Amino acid sequence: MSDYSQHLSVAREAALAAGELLRDQALHHHDELMVDIAEAHDIKLELDRRCQSLIEKILLRSFPDFAIYGEEGISGESDAEYQWIIDPIDGTVNFFYGIPHFAISIALRRNKEIVIGVIHDPMRNELWEAARGEAVTLNGHPIQVSRRTKMSESVVSVGLSKTAATIEQAAPQFLQMVRSVRKCRLMGSATLDIAYVACGRLDAYLENQISLWDIAAGVLMVEMAGGIVELKPHPAEPDKYSIVACSSLIREQLAVFGSQISENS
């Protein structure tokens, strides 16, 4: 077992508890959802806050000195050795519209290095887990990235972010990608996109502006599953990154698209 087995166990407990809450809301109380913020291309729910609070309560019960990093900023010591990175509902718009494609993401960062990652899809009862130096698992079974070697046979997800500017930047890339691969997907959850790369369902995931809490857990998973992740800080937007996550077998063929992401970031 890794040195992080207890941390992973607690992150799993928190993700499953949050997943139970989300599944219950999705199946039985969907009409009761309260919207906190409605923007042109995004929605924030009261449920986001409730789910975040539940996760924090479980994590801090076992690790009270760890900081929490997420959409609301950092709580606790900003220079703490350990920081939990949380996205309580990635795919909130999907959730709000009754599309069963969303997930909970919990990662642990130690001195700027991601060491634990847990992603839970409560509607499909799927749980991805990773600890640095260990095998990545999906529902307890080891996984690896895709072994496909041709772009023409690949399925790739391209994220379009949440603002008019980032959509305009990504649209040409998406059109070029559609012509180069077997299928291009816009799925609405970066967390699940990168988890799908880790287990070989997708061959690559690219986005030119994404928040760390959306993809922190999945970054570790792709790396531990034999893939490549290129993560570059956005020059003007704090807490935003461009990302290319893929198997090493198609990275060279993705180079042109990856360079476009860097230029647009």
pLDDT digits (tens, 9 = 90+) for 187-223: 999 999 999 999 999 999 998 889 999 999 999 999 9
Q: What pLDDT score was predicted for residue 255?
A: 74
Query: What is the C-alpha to C-alpha distance for residues 15 and 108, in angstroms, rounded to an integer?
Result: 13
The dihedral sign for the CA sequence 173, 174, 179, 181? positive
Fold match between domain 5-142 and domain 151-264: no
What are the tokens at 178?
């559609």
Q: What pLDDT score was predicted for residue 34?
A: 79
Q: Is residue 131 a contact partner of residue 5, using CB atoms and an 8 Å limit? A: yes
In degrees to the nearest 10, what's the CA dihedral of 57, 63, 67, 71?
-30
- Pick from 72-86, 118-132, 134-148, 166-180: least confident: 166-180
pLDDT digits (tens, 9 = 90+) for 68-81: 998 767 887 778 89
Q: Is 151-264 a CATH 3.30.565.10 domain?
A: no
Nearest CA-CA partner of 104 in 17, 204, 34, 38 = 17
Q: What pTM was estimated for this model as a whole?
A: 0.91
The architecture in CATH of the region 5-142 reads 2-Layer Sandwich (3.30)
Q: For all residues of the chain together, what is the average pLDDT? A: 88
Q: What pLDDT score was predicted for residue 39?
A: 65
Q: What pLDDT score was predicted for residue 40?
A: 53
Q: What pLDDT score was predicted for residue 139?
A: 98
What are the structural domain ranges in the chain? 5-142, 151-264
Decide if pLDDT at 89 tops 50: yes
Decide if pLDDT at 161 tops 80: no
From residue 252, alpha-carbon distances to 124, 146, 249, 257 in Å are 33, 15, 8, 10
DSSP β-bridge partners for residue 245: 205, 229
